[in-house]
């Protein structure tokens, strides 16, 4: 381990405020990925990060991108998605994220597609509003710019709004989208909060029937439903660029929930929808829009239920035969998250210790020797899994630091032997092999328990 210590990069001694430190530690100790402060604990995966950063730059240039982030349970897929989301926000993109669940998927006849869109709309984020709920501010930024232009040219603001949104007319529901933005302006101008709220409800896909939408908006506009949620996402990507942002990045996690659908027809239907998204992204048919999908290896390569069971997706997602652990290929749509090395794990433990100390080395509760001893102990208990799928390792290490901080009379040498590390490997199989049971009257999809 002495080589790790010598090769480890210097960690900057910058103060980490409690409001940043505490959410990081609390999230990690609960086995969750922090929403902020990822830069404090990021290690390794330079090739993967550069590949997605290049995609983000292409989206900002008016292009499109689609990537599948593949890794075992606990390997850091969600962390990687959140890191890319943070980078996108810094580059002035709008982001949206959602987890697929039994009630949120790509295609359904029971409102599950609309539910996915609703979650994405609620989680719209900008650099100024990184925790979601940015839809109103995006709309008002567009409205404010249109109003300034109208004042300068001495013409009605609605005319400017419709002129600036004219390019959306080539897309499905483009005219309806324009009408709703114009209605929001009408409510904004007349201090009609109910009309503004109704317009935002439509943009978030919260109307279940056309009658309800017509009653509140007093106009005939189609509602967002299972059949058109993806088209609305493309509209939103174009709209945010017109509002002054660089594009839209959509992160969809827990794609394994499609793999777990027991009804073959429902699974194939969702894969068809996924294929249309993949085709648009690879062919550059969308403007300023990117998708990152996260899933497990079985979700991708299983020939019976995974994406490889759908021949069109298999042909587009098959990886280069030349790629290997030694030969990296980031040109295709699939990125397999490489396992962290022992050196990466040592640096990660250093960073976690640094965050725990609030960024002050004088507050470290253990020396580097304790990190080395901790890693040896983990290796003896679960082998290489402790750094390849490090979720439980991180949880136990932070618990280790917390106990030492609260009990200064206890030495790390006597405590370290009591640490019990559990491997995440078994949870992968359980998660992936759980199938749906029961039936759905409308689309024969099954409900299941996680």
Compute the average pLDDT of residues 98-121.
95
pLDDT grade for 12, boundaries at 50, 70 and 90: low
Token pair recorded at residue 110: 């029971």
Main-chain phi, psi angles of 145, to 5 degrees: -65, -40
CA distance 337 to 313: 20
Is the confidence at residue 331, as pLDDT, over 90?
no
What string of DSSP letters covers 189-214?
HTT-HHHHHHHHHHHTT---SHHHHH
Confidence (pLDDT) at 438: 33
Question: For 358-369, what is each residue's pLDDT tens digit?
Answer: 989 999 999 999
Confidence (pLDDT) at 369: 93
Please tell me which of 1-15, 116-130, 421-435 the model is most confident about, judged by mean pLDDT: 116-130
Surface-to-core class of residue 125, CB atoms within 10 Å of its CB (0-12 exposed, 13-18 middle, 19+ buried): buried
Are the C-beta atoms of residues 365 and 406 closer than 8 Å to each other?
no
Compute the average pLDDT of residues 348-373.
92
174-177 long-range contacts, CB within 8 A, separation 24+: 174/235, 176/221, 176/222, 177/203, 177/232, 177/235, 177/239
Which helix H or strand E contains 249, and what residues bound it? strand 248-253
Question: For 156-182, what is each residue's pLDDT tens digit?
Answer: 999 999 999 999 988 888 899 999 999
Q: Measured in Å, how far apart are the chain's first and last C-alpha atoms?
A: 39
Mean pLDDT (the chain, rounded): 86
Compute the average pLDDT of residues 372-378.
89
CA distance 104 to 293: 14
Are the C-beta atoms of residues 393 and 75 closer than 8 Å to each other?
no
């Amino acid at each position: 381990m002495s080589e790790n210590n010598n090769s480890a990069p210097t960690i900057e001694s910058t103060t980490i405020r409690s409001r940043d430190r505490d959410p990081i530690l609390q999230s990690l100790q609960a086995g969750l990925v922090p929403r902020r402060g990822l830069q404090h604990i990021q290690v390794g995966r330079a090739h993967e990060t550069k590949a997605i950063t290049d995609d983000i730059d292409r989206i900002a240039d008016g292009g499109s991108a689609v990537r599948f982030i593949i890794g075992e349970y606990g390997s850091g897929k969600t962390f990687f998605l959140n890191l890319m989301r943070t980078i996108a926000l810094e580059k002035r993109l709008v982001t949206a994220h959602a987890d697929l669940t039994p009630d949120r998927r790509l295609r359904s006849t029971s409102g599950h597609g609309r539910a996915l869109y609703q979650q994405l709309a609620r989680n719209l984020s900008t650099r100024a509003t990184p925790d979601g709920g940015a839809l109103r501010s995006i709309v008002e930024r567009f409205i404010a710019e249109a109003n300034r232009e109208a004042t300068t040219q001495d013409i009605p603001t609605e005319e400017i709004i419709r002129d600036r949104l004219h390019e959306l007319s080539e897309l499905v529901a483009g005219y309806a989208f324009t009408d709703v933005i114009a209605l929001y302006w009408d409510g904004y101008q007349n201090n009609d909060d109910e009309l503004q709220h109704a317009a935002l409800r439509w943009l978030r896909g919260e109307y279940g029937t056309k009658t309800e939408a017509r009653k509140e908006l007093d106009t005939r506009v189609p509602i967002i439903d299972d059949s058109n949620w993806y088209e609305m996402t493309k509209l939103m990507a174009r709209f945010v660029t017109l509002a002054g942002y660089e594009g839209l990045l959509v992160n969809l996690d827990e794609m394994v929930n499609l793999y777990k659908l027991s009804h073959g027809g429902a699974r194939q239907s969702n894969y068809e929808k996924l294929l249309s998204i993949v085709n648009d992204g690879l062919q550059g048919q969308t403007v300023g829009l990117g998708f990152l999908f996260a899933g497990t290896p079985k979700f991708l390569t299983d020939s019976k239920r995974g994406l490889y069971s759908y021949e069109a997706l298999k042909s587009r997602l098959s990886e280069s035969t030349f790629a290997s652990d030694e030969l990296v290929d980031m040109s295709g749509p699939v990125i397999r998250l490489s396992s962290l090395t022992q050196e990466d794990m040592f640096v990660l433990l250093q960073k976690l210790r640094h965050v725990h100390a609030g960024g002050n080395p004088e507050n470290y509760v253990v020396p580097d020797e304790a990190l080395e001893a901790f890693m040896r102990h983990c290796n003896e208990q679960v082998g290489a899994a402790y750094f390849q799928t490090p979720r439980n390792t991180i949880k136990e290490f932070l618990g280790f630091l917390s106990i030492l901080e609260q009990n200064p009379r206890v030495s790390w040498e006597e405590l370290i032997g009591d640490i019990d590390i559990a491997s995440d490997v078994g949870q992968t199989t359980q998660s992936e092999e759980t199938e749906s049971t029961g039936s759905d009257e409308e689309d024969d999809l099954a409900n299941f328990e996680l």
